[in-house]
Amino acid sequence: MIKTASQYHRHTIYDRGKIGGHYLDWSNQPDVFKKYQGITPVPLPNEIPFLKKSLSSVLKETDIDPTCRKININDLSLILRLIYTITSRVRHGIGEFYYRSAASAGALYPTEIYVASHGVRGLDNGLYHFDIRQHGLLPLRRYDLSDHIAGLIIPPAKKKPTLTFLFTTIFFRSAWKYRDRAYRYHLLDGGHVIENLDLALKAMKLPFNLSYDFNDKDMNHLLGLDEKKEVLLAIGYVPGPDSVSEAKIPEIEGLSKDILNASIVSGKDIDYPAIQEIHRAGHMSEAKDDLEPDILERPTLIPETWHSLPGSLSNTEKIEYPECLFKRRSSRNFMNLPIEKNTFFSLLDSLCVDENNMSEDTIHHQLLTVGFLAGNIESISPGSYILDTTKKRFGMIAAGNFINNMTRACLDQKWLSNAGVHFIFISNLNLLDRTYGPRGYRYAMMTAGRMGQRIYIASTALSLGCCGIGAFYDGEAGGLLEINEESSLLYLVAVGNVKSFGDQ
C-alpha cells in the first residue's frame, strides 16, 4: 500500500532494461473529449478580440483591481480561450486529432475544466463543464454554489467566488499509456493548464486565488465525479464583493448516474492501484507551522558563486502573449546552434518570482530546486547550474557536458542532445512527506508543471523550440545530477533553436 510521495515516486521509477514491453490497445484508446448525454450546451461568444499584451507585461503584472470589476460572459469566454483551447487539427489514419494550448504527455490530455458562476453577467448561476471542442458550457447544476465552494476550500474563503475554475484529471487517459507512472503526468499536465489560468487572469487584471487544498470527497461529489475515474486537483477563483453566508449550507444532492459515467472515457477503463493509493493518501494536507529549512539547499546542490540575472524578457520577445499560446508546440527538431545570451537570460527571468510579492501558490516554488544543464548557450560554459527563482540569480554546480549524458538518461531520445539547455526540476520527496504529508507531492509536481508551461510559452515568445520530458531512467538522472538519496528529478524541459515551429 502506497502511503507517501516518496513511496509512489520510487514505485514508478524507470530502470534501464527493466521497463518491459507495454502493448497499447488502440481499440481501447481513451476519448480525449468528455461527453455528457442529453445536456444542451450553452454556447460561449466566439468573436472576442484578444488582448494586445506582451508576455513580459503579463508575467510581471501587478496592477490588479482588488475590487474585482463585474465579469460578463464575454470575459469568461476570453479567459477560457486563454486557458485551454484547440490550436490545430491533424488527420491520422484513425481519424482527426486536435492539439491544445497546454502541453500534455503523449498528447493524452487528462485535464478537464469546470466553471462555477456567481453573478457573471449573461450566464446563469451554476456549475458547468467546459466543452473545449465546442467552446461551450454544459450545465450540471443550475443554482448558486458559491457558498458551498467557499466552505470546501481549505482554509475557507471569506468572500463568495464570482467565478471559479475547477481542474480535474481523468486517470485512464494517461494510464492507458503510462500505467502506474501516469499520476506523475496527471499532476504535470494539470500544472500546465493551471499556469495558463494564472497568466489569463493576470492579463485581465482580475484578482484571484489558487488552492490545491480542499475537501476532496465533497468537492468531487459536487462536480459529479466517479472518484475511481476522475478527481479534482486544483481550484482557481476570482473573489467577489459578497461575504460568505453565515447560514447553514444545505447538503449537495448527488448527480445522476449518467453524469458520473461521463468520467468513463473508453470501452474498458483499467484502474491502476498505485494511482488510486497515492491520490487517496493525499486527501488531507499535513502542513506544519514550523517548516523545515529552505528546500533549495536540501538536494545538496549549492553553488560556490552566484551571478545576478541581467535583462528581462521584454528586451527580446518576438511574439505577443496570446499568440504564444496558439503557436506553442512540443518541438523535437532542435538544431545544434547556440542560444543567444540575452535570449537565454530572458528565459531565466520568465521563471523568476517577486520575493516581496509572493502569494500562497508561488510559495510552492520553494518546494522545488530549479536548475539547468547548459549545453550550447552563448557566453555560458557547459555545465550544471542552479537558478534561484526568488533572488533572481544562478550559479554553477559542476562544469562539463551534461546534455549528452542526460540525453542517454532520458530513454536515449537522441534529439535531446541538440537542445541548447535542459531545465530540471528537483524536489526532496522525504522532506515533502515530513512537511506536508503525501499531498505535498501534488504541490511539487503541479508547480513543476506550471513552470514547465511557462518555459513553453516564453520559448515561443523568443522563437525557440521546447519540449517537456517526464520519462527518464530515474536513478541514472539522479546520479548524473549528484543529488542526495532523498531527492528526485521530477521534470525536465528542453529548449533550443529549431528548424521551424509546428512539429509535434
418-477 pLDDT, tens digit per residue, is: 999 999 999 999 988 988 999 999 999 999 999 999 999 999 999 999 999 999 999 999
CA distances, 68 to each of 208, 336, 384 (Å): 9, 48, 44
pLDDT value, residue 290 = 52
Its sign, for the CA torsion 493, 495, 499, 502, is positive
Mean pLDDT for the stretch of residues 254-263:
95
Q: Measure the CA angle with vertex 182, ends 237 and 130; round to 5°.
A: 35
pLDDT on residue 502: 47
Question: Which residues lie across from 119 on neighbouring strands?
Answer: none
Q: Which residue has the higher pLDDT, 456 or 391?
A: 456
What structural domains and CATH numbers belong to the chain?
61-281 (3.40.109.10), 295-496 (3.40.109.10)
Is the predicted pLDDT of residue 363 greater than 90, yes or no? no
> What is the rounded average pLDDT of the residues 346-367?
74
- Give the per-residue pLDDT at 250: 84
pLDDT above 70: percentage of residues in the chain: 91
pLDDT, residue 426, reads: 96
Tell me the mean pLDDT in the region 220-226: 97
What confidence tens digit (pLDDT) does each residue in 158-170 have? 999 999 999 999 9
Q: Looking at residue 315, what is its pLDDT?
A: 64
**Confidence band for 366, pLDDT divided at 50, 70 and 90:** confident
Q: What value does the mean pLDDT take over residues 394-417?
A: 96
Residue 277 has pLDDT above 80, yes or no: yes
The predicted-structure confidence for 18-68, as pLDDT tens digits, reads as follows 876 678 898 999 999 999 999 999 999 988 888 889 998 999 888 887 777
User: At residue 312, does pLDDT exceed 80?
Assistant: no
Closest-CA residue to 184 (of 480, 495, 449, 494): 449
Handedness of CA 55, 59, 65, 70 (dihedral sign): positive
Pairing of strands 126-131, 111-117: antiparallel
Q: Model-level pTM?
A: 0.95
Q: Give the sign of the dihedral formed by CA 273, CA 275, CA 276, CA 279.
A: positive
> With pLDDT > 90 as the criterion, what percentage of the chain qualifies?
77
* Banded model confidence at residue 292, pLDDT cuts 50, 70, 90: low
Q: Rounded to whole angstroms, how far apart are CA atoms 361 and 83?
A: 18
pLDDT at 504: 40
Whether residue 88 has pLDDT greater than 80: yes
What integer is the mean pLDDT of 2-16?
A: 96
- pLDDT tens digits, 329-346: 999 999 999 999 999 999
The grid coordinates of residue 370 equal: 530549479
Average pLDDT of the segment spanning 360-367: 67
pLDDT at 61: 85
Average pLDDT of the chain is 91
CB 371 within 8 A of CB 384: yes
Mean pLDDT of 128-154: 96
The pLDDT of residue 304 is 85
